[in-house]
Structure 1
Amino acid sequence: MSRWLKNVRLETGESRHSDGTVKTETELFNIEISEDGVIQTLVPSLEHTETDGMDMGGRLALPPFKEMHNHLDKTYLSLGFRACRPVKNLSERLKLEAAELETLAETVEQRASAMIELHLKNGVNHIRTHVNIDPFIKLKNLEGVKRALESYKEYLTYEIVAFPQHGLLLHEEMPDLLREALQSGAGILGGLDPAGIDGNVEKSLEMTMEIAKEYGVDVDMHFHDRGHIGYYTMDRWLDMVSAEDYQGKTTFSHAFGLSQLQPGVQQNFARKLKQYDVSIMSTIPISVNHKVIPIDILKENGVAVGLGCDGFYDSWSPFVSGDIMEKVNHFCDYTGKSTERVLRNSLGLITGGITPLDDKGNQQWPKPGDEASFVFTDVSCSAEAVARLPEDRQLMHRGILFNKD
């Protein structure tokens, strides 16, 4: 049996203020939702006043958010506060993490559940999580994260990446552990800095491609290496993608090697990424010492770009709120985006590219046949949501409201 949502505010188009600047127009709608969570009908509320259903009180509906880079197994959430221990380099950080892995593995389901609930409260209905697969705990984290995600499956969808945090080549059992993870619930193969961690770009990339093709899975590569080596590693992977006919199955996470290239080189590489259907995931780094990767250039060339909070409140950082919308806010702030249309369009970075209005201000979401998934919040428009980060949000996933309590 279908049911109705009443008085849902939707963005419908644009008008102009007296000074010529854009103003987003909205109207109230009643939305009919099928039993299986699909939108059947949208009717202006003024034309459909007799409808029985759940009254949303004029709250704005936004597309639900996608957290595209997360580490559910690493967080300290639900444990007492812990600041980071100082280290001199990445190798020391990895050693410290390895030392606590077995202890933390005992609480992985509890901690992952705390992070999932935080994301749901913030409006996220899809999580891509990287899960440590390593010789210290083997598949323990994977087992706990799977249980946690399954507990919330009525509110979200998810992807699990088998992630070799401590290197693919540094421990001889790692290739087979990753294979075991791909047979045990992970659906994507991860990778990590073939130069900076593994110390052998060619061998690391070749082993990654071998395992990926063996299981026919997508690949999500963490690329932190900067400068020429970071750029070379990404470019070399694209050569392998071409040679192995593996287009459309790669995400570059972070891709910091793109940040210091000349704009012309960035443009050319963006076109190459588009050619091989490679997507980019960014965490919008907030360090003043590092530049944001060229997201605008990537998007202009048709490259799919998503955002993620990465790890938060863990052995790597005591910071980050865990709010994926905050990442969009920071991106707009750092890159000088402050007008209504560009703020609104930037929302697509956390919605899988979906925005209520297109680039010209025409309504394109939601429509009959779409999944009945929304984030309801008390703001006037999506541009205000990006700029002001409303705290009061309510997620609906396929017609089911997430109960914050």
Structure 2
Amino acid sequence: MQSEYQPIAVGNYILKNVRLETGFEYDDKEVIRTKTDLFCVEIEEGKIKAIKPNDTQSKGIDVKGKLMLPAFRDMHVHLDKTLYGLPWQALSPKRKTVKDMIAYEQQIIPELLKTSVERAEQLISLLQNYGATYARTHFNVDPTSGLRSLENLEKALQNKKDSFKAELVAFPQHGLYYTESASIMKEAAALESVDFIGGLDPYSIDGNIEKVLDLTVQLALDHQKGIDIHLHEVGESGMKTINYLIDKVTENPILQGKTFVSHAFALGHLSLKETNEIAEKLAAAKVGIASSVPFRGTIMPIPTLKKYGVNVLIGNDNVQDYWSTFGSGNMLQKANLIAELYGYETEFELSRVLAFATQDILPLDENGNQQWPKTGDAAHAVFVDASCSAESVARMSAIAGLMTKDHLGWKES
């Protein structure tokens, strides 16, 4: 694990020698380089108060030319269940299906709940070490854990409230009806702290796409929540689930922009024509996709989804837990994987790929105009050892500092 941040500033302060991107350099209309300069940045009451020309003689905190980028956001992770912090354990070859894993969870959850607060905090610290200050986290809702996974997760988040925020997805990991979780989900849906109603493979787990999605949608409507369902199924059942959810969202416009299909691996097994058609439908209904990258040989059609305007969110999903051996917690690594998988190699393309780590906040717009940071922006940023966004993605540059609200932590003396 990387070294911990040492607090070097709290409250209102000034930073000097801050490297910010200022524009693109072109050669025959092609971006060949990202221009940067050094600035002083003043922080007050958790916001950026001013950005001024650099003054090396000022009394500000010297960040020594490190590049300031928007803080990272992990938009699909399970903070409530992880083996991180426990002795190393690789994925078992004995458990091959989701139902196998459900049976396994029923055995181990009671014991894991005893230490889940501490382990959730350790996982949050890992995400922070890699520059994340925000996450969308799913928490188990099932007969084995009841609402205890949520209760413990909320304790961990409360202990980290000054430097980390999260939105919560009530996730029926053991199926809505497969293990009689519907009543507990109704209880969870009514809680103010819950932001999204989750779901899991309606056909292969519960055997009824319509019944599961109808309840999921109704809970979201009744309690003004969003929707974020896990869909690992491919083929006919996977596509039927996606299309049925699109139809329900179209019927209930209040859910547009608040509904997501996590993973949606069925999209990675379509023809080009089918991919274009479903991407257009998803965009029209404002149904987003939240996925991990990569996942067991499936390459999602992310470029096509983005071309049609689908909101694509990226996360680490499982971080070294009993569902997956892998998962680093590093959102910059996810952006790097996307660049390599889809051939984003130029200065301009790499600068755009950073958006998958920051969730669409970029220092420069498509034309090279500076758009972040601006006066009044929240003081959420990372400081990386790189000359520009493109380099930070390509080289997965080391994180030197993390700024959240009115705190600044640093890994260097």
- Does residue 112 (structure 1) correspond to residue 139 (structure 2)? The answer is no
Q: Which of residues 184, 189, 197 in structure 2 aligns to 1:182?
A: 189
Matches within 5 A, 1:252-331: 252-287=261-296, 289-290=297-298, 292-331=299-338
Contact residue 17 and residue 23 of structure 1 kept, 8 A: no
Q: Which residue of 1 aligns with 2:256?
A: 247
Q: What residue in structure 2 maps to residue 8 of structure 1?
A: 18
Give secondary structure in 2 for the equivalent of 1:102: helix
Instruction: Give runs of aligned pairs for residues 27-46 of structure 1, distance below 5 A.
Output: 27-34=37-44, 36-45=45-54
User: 2:355 — aligned with what?
Assistant: 348
Unaligned ranges ≥5, structure 1: none
Structure 2 gaps of 5+ residues are 1-10
The CA RMSD measured in Å over matched residues stands at: 1.9
* Offset of residue 2 of structure 1: 4.6
Report how far residue 181 of structure 1 moved: 2.0
Whether 1:24 aligns to 2:31 is no
Following TM superposition, by how much is the alpha carbon of 1:247 offset from its aligned partner in structure 2, in angstroms?
2.0
What is the CA distance between 1:49 and its match in structure 2? 4.5
Structure 2: how far apart are the matches of 1:282 and 1:158? 17
Give the aligned partner of residue 236 of structure 2.
Answer: 228
Q: Which amino acid aligns with 1:131?
A: F
The answer on 1:393 being equivalent to 2:400 is yes
Distance change in 2, residues 1:152/1:170 (3 Å): same
- Is the Cα–Cα contact under 8 Å of residues 395 and 402 in structure 1 kept in the other structure? yes
Matches within 5 A, 1:116-135: 116-135=124-143
**Alpha-carbon distance in 2 for matches of 1:49, 1:322:** 35
**Aligned equivalents of 2:410, 2:110: Cα separation in 1:** 33
Matched, 1:206 2:214: yes
Report the CA distance between 1:391 and its aligned residue: 2.8
- Regions of 4+ moved over 6 Å: 17-20
The 1:75/1:2 distance shift into structure 2, 3 A limit, reads: closer
Task: Note if contact 1:155-1:402 (Cα within 8 Å) is conserved in structure 2.
Answer: no
Q: How high is the TM-score relative to the length of structure 1?
A: 0.94
1:404–1:96 Cα change, 3 Å: farther
Return the offset for 1:268. Answer: 2.5
The one-letter amino acid of 1:248's match is G
Which residue number in structure 2 is paired with residue 158 of structure 1? 166
**Matched position secondary structure for 2:194:** coil
Are the aligned partners of 2:31 and 2:348 in contact in 1 as well (CA < 8 Å)? no
Q: 2:111 aligns with which of 95, 103, 106?
A: 103
**Matched-pair contact (CA < 8 Å) for 1:97–1:315:** no
Q: Is the contact between residue 381 and residue 402 of structure 2 (CA under 8 Å) also seen in structure 1? A: yes
TM-score by length of 2: 0.92
Q: CA deviation at 1:91?
A: 1.6
**Structure 1 residue 342 displacement after superposition:** 0.5
AA aligned opposite 2:370: Q
| Structure 2 counterpart of 1:326, one-letter code | Q
What is the count of residue pairs matched by the alignment? 399
Corresponding position of 2:4: none
Aligned to 2:200: 192
Give the C-alpha shift of residue 135 in structure 1: 0.3
Q: Deviations over 1:76-97 (max 9, x none)?
A: 1111112222224222122112
The counterpart of 2:387, out of the listed 377, 380, 386, is 380
- What secondary structure does 1:197 align onto? helix
